Amino acid sequence: MKLRLESVKITDVRFGSKTSISNGILYVNKHELNDLVCADENFTNVNIEIVKPGDNARIVNVVDVVEPRCKISGGSDFPGVLGKIVSAGRGTTRALKGMAVVLCDRHHHWIHSKALIDMTGPGAELGRYGKMPNLVIDPIPNGEIDDLDYAYSVRRAGFKAAVYLAGAAGADQVEDVEVFDTETIHPDLPRIAYFYQIYSPQHDPKGIPDPIFYGSPISLTLPLVVHPNEILDGAVLSGYTIRMMETYSIQNHPIVTELFRRHGEDLNFAGVVLGVCSMEPIRRTLGAVMVGNLVHETLKADGVIMTKPLGGAPNVDLGVAASECEKLGVKTVLLLQLLNTGAALDSEVLFNDPALNAIINCGIIFETQELPELKKIIGGTAETPVFNDSCKQLAGQPIVVEKRFICGCLNQLGASTAAAVEY
């Protein structure tokens, strides 16, 4: 499988009469985009805003961030969500680099499931998206709507916008081309696989799983082998609740892209096993045994790096899967986030198999950050609640939030440089 990813560098985003790109500036015809994304009975209207680094603005109710991308050939856009289901990861995809589409959901009020983006101040310093221009898609709900139905509408609107914007880039504007494939094998280099636990049913809103794999829910799926290109090319998406694994970070997956980069240099990228956290012990054991077998027998890996979604159950699950790999002689490295600020670096891991002696510290998510009052609130109003422990502070005030709510600050997939340090 071969994916050609063409990049067009964007330095600024502005509204204009025609959606087009000129000298790195993306001009957006607001009416045309509005007609496209507003065509949904769940919306009365869609606010479309542009924010730039340095703006005195805070985006709230953020449920996902997407990099603008469209298929040029050999596939469909966000298959299973927008396009028909064909394999992602083949053909040519064009991406706008250096900007993002931010999706806001004003409708649902599930606790601890949204994030914010500050465009100035400490929030902008800490988060990835405060440092780039963003186009914000902020629909207004049309009366009483089912939360999940609405969440799906927001996602479709955001992905449509992402495809529409990327479609403005012409072939002559492509500045960089990367080709992702692992067809050449280097027998002298170790085979490294990636186990990517993409979901935990503990977070299913209303007990209904999020459709995050080709637009389908895979809560009860046993581990499966996918091609890494599929992950980069829109097959795997963020859930409805953001939880530090936004779609932008999946499209630019830090482990998948790094393994590709090193393929042929100091390793062979052996492939990817996808998994879902199990909620009960028999299934957990079965899942772990299958991860071990797929990594060892099918991918024939010497080593596997493993990540998890937010939650304690995935931490246990990942540990059991890693133990199965080590039993088969496959070396493991696990990426884990820490939770408790009052803990120590040897008390936050939920397993104790001595073979699991290589763990990466991905930062502490409950550390709090003071953020100043910002003038403009996007994606909500100055009265929009911003979640903290008591759920009482409002977006238009100076606030204190845990780092996990600053979008792009911490990341489950290893995109962040933050690590927890004992003080």
Partner 1 sequence: MNNESTGKDPQNQKWRIVCYVNQFFGQVGGEEKADCGFMVKQGPVGPVRLLHWFLEGDGEVVATVICGDNYIARNLEQAVEEGLKIIADLQPSLFFSGPAFNAGRYGVACGAIASAVQERLGIPAITGLFPENPGAEMYRKRAWVVKTGGNAAHMKEAMGTMAGMARKLMKKEPLGSPAKEGYLPRGFLKNEAIGKTAAIRGIEMLLDKVASRPFKTELQIPTFEEIEPAPPIKDIKAARIAMVSDGGVVPKGNPDGMKVSQNTVWASYNLGDIFAKPFQIVHSGYHPTEVRENLNRLLPLDVLKEMEAEGEFASLLPVFFSCSGNTTTVQSARDMGRGIAQKLVDEGVRGVILTST
Restricting to residues 334-363, name those near partner 1 by CB under 8 A: 335-336, 338-349, 351-354, 356-363
* Measured CA distances, 30 to 15, 50, 57, 62, 378 (Å): 6, 10, 20, 20, 16
Distance, in Å, from the CA atom of 398 to the CA atom of 395, rounded to the nearest integer, reads 8
CB of 16 to partner 1, least distance (A): 35
For partner 1, the binding residues in 101-120 under the rule CB under 8 A are: 110-112
- Reference 287, options 297, 298, 273, 301; nearest CA is 273
Position 218 contacts partner 1 (CB under 8 A) = no
CB of 19 to partner 1, least distance (A): 33
Each residue 150-189 as x (binds partner 1 by CB under 8 A) or -, in order, gives ----------------------------------------
Which distant-in-sequence residues (6+ apart) come within 8 Å of 125 by Cβ?
Answer: none
CB atoms within 10 A of CB 53: 13
For partner 1, the binding residues in 363-382 under the rule CB under 8 A are: 363-364, 366-367
Q: In which element (H, E) is residue 314 found?
A: helix 312-327
Binding region for partner 1 (CB under 8 A) out of 34-42, 97-105, 169-177, 259-267: 259-267
List the beta strands (DSSP E) in 34-180.
43-51, 57-66, 69-73, 91-97, 100-104, 115-118, 134-141, 176-180
Helix, coil or strand: residue 57: strand
Binding region for partner 1 (CB under 8 A) out of 64-72, 134-142, 227-235, 296-304: 296-304
Count the site residues for partner 1 by CB under 8 A: 71
Furthest-apart CA pair in the chain: how many Å? 62
Nearer to partner 1, 32 or 266 (CB): 266
For partner 1, the binding residues in 8-67 under the rule CB under 8 A are: none
Selected binder of partner 1 within 153, 173, 332, 384 (CB under 8 A): 332
Selected binder of partner 1 within 13, 115, 255, 321 (CB under 8 A): 255
CB of 65 to partner 1, least distance (A): 17
Structure token digits, residue 327:
């039993």
Position 280 contacts partner 1 (CB under 8 A) = no
Q: What is the DSSP letter of 220?
A: T
CB of 248 to partner 1, least distance (A): 15
Nearer to partner 1, 282 or 421 (CB): 421
CB of 413 to partner 1, least distance (A): 7
Q: Following DSSP, what letter does each residue of 163-196 receive, concatenated?
A: HHHHTT--GGG--EEEEE---S--TTS-EEEEEE
Q: Distance from CA of residue 401 to its chain's centroid?
A: 20
Selected binder of partner 1 within 205, 217, 264, 385 (CB under 8 A): 205
Nearer to partner 1, 28 or 276 (CB): 276
Distance, in Å, from the CA atom of 405 to the CA atom of 387, rounded to the nearest integer, reads 8
